[in-house]
Structure formats: structure tokens, C-alpha cells
Amino acid sequence: MPASPDAVSGALRAVIFDVDGVLVDSPHEQAWRDALADFADPTGFTTAFYQAHVAGKPRLEGARATLERLGAAGAATDAAAFGRKKQAVIDRLIAEDRFTAFPDAIRLAVALRETALRTVLASSSKNADAMLARVILPDGRTLLSLFDADVSGRDVPRGKPDPALFRLAAGAVEVPPAACLVVEDAPAGIRAAKAGGMAGLGIARLGDAALLRAAGADLVLTSLDDLDVSALSDGVLQRRSGPDPHTSSV
């Protein structure tokens, strides 16, 4: 389909990666759910709820959004405590290696090392580096070591869908936003990419392709193996097998 009015045009020079749901099948959703019982009825905290309202946001914003949308009486006062409990849970889950890296994401990160494109990590989570450092590749490198820059967990004035973190990522490799592609699994992250004047690739691992398209993704895939890496430097997002109905020149 044609590029949206705010889609970038021309060659791409950098690829910016979210981490949770993109590079690793992280325990964030489980940690939020496990921590919720003391603050609200967890029944409504489904995967769809997590993707729509929590994924991609900084911890406090995610905690507040969860409690408010679930109608918790103490949403305003309990958000910080809820966020702290969630952090304690996820620290334990990471230490227990209760997460896995997505093989397609590893293959994409390795393939990008063979191109002139710069790669940057830009997760709102302060736990992202701890997970990627625990993923050891066959050659002994860590998944964390494959990237040229890392701004994950940096404090920014506003979290996603504000583009501040992605703009910080672009600056870390001295590439203008218009020459950046963001890989995201959350609608809030796609909206942040588009608000920052960047292209957005949505990875729909949870059957949420429609949400990612509605957020403005230029292309949505269910596997990163399907991305045509060779076309990226020309500013073209397309499936490896060729254009599909959602192909976009960016």
C-alpha cells in the first residue's frame, strides 16, 4: 500500500529494536500479572490487554494504566508500589532464565551486522540489557554485543507512544530519524516511531497484526525471517518473498 503521509522516504541507515516481544520472549507480562493480585482483580489482565495498554511503556506508566483500566480503587496511590512489586518479580524470573530469545530475531540481528545499517537497542525496560547479556550465541558472543548502541532503560520526559526514546536512539548512532526503521511488537511503540518521523515494522507474534496496522506500521510480519534485508538500504520494506498487500516504500 502507499506510504502514509508521515512515512519516511529514501535510504535507511539504522534499525532500532525494541526488546520485549521483539528480540526476547520476556517474562514481563507474567511479572505484571503475578504482581497484580495484591492491587486489583487480575482476571481482566489478558495478553490482549497487556499488548494494548502496557507493552512498551515505562514501568510506572504501565502500572498506572493497568490499575486505571481495571478500575482499581487505588490506581493513583498504588501505582508505584505495584511497579516495585512487578520489578521484584521480573528480577527473579530473569535470574532463573525464565525467558527465551526469538531465533528469527537473532538471525535478523546477525544478518544486519553484514550490512552498512547501524543497529540500536531502545526498550523502555531497564531489564532489557540483563536479558540480552544472558543470551549466548554459538560463537560465544552475547545477543547484547551485536548492537552498535543501546539506550534501553534511559530516562526520558515521556514514554512511548512519545518518540523521545527512539529519537535518543537515532542520536546515539548519529542518524537522522527519517533514515531509521523501528522494529516493534507493541502499538504504543509503532505510534512512537511514526510520531518521531521513522518507519515502523510491526512484529505480530501474538495474533495482533490488526492492532499494529491500526497504529500505523508500514509493514507487519509474523516472523522476522520474512523481512527482505537486502531491500532496506534502498528504503523498501517488503517480505523476503516479494511485495505483499502491506508493502511500503519508506
C-alpha span between 180 and 170 (Å, rounded): 7
- Report pLDDT digits (tens) over 79-113: 999 999 999 999 999 999 889 999 999 999 999 99
Q: Are the C-beta atoms of residues 22 and 119 closer than 8 Å to each other?
A: no
Say how far apart CA 211 and CA 192 lie, in whole Å: 14
Answering whether pTM is above 0.75, one says yes
Domains of the chain: 14-25+99-249 (3.40.50.1000), 28-95 (1.10.150.240)
Per DSSP, 242 falls in state: B
Output the pLDDT for position 5.
32
- Output the furthest CA–CA distance in the chain (Å, rounded): 52
8 Å CB contact between 128 and 153: yes
- Quick: pLDDT tens for 123-173: 988 889 999 999 999 999 999 999 999 999 898 989 889 999 999 999 999
Contact 61, 53 (CB under 8 A): no
Q: Indicate the pLDDT class of residue 213, thresholds 50, 70 and 90.
A: very high
Scanning the structure block, which residue is given the C-alpha cell 532496506? 232
The answer to whether the beta carbons of residues 196 and 167 sit under 8 Å apart is: yes
Alpha carbon distance, N-terminus to C-terminus of the chain: 11
Pairing of the two strands 199-203 and 219-221: parallel
pLDDT value for 246? 47
pLDDT at 74: 85
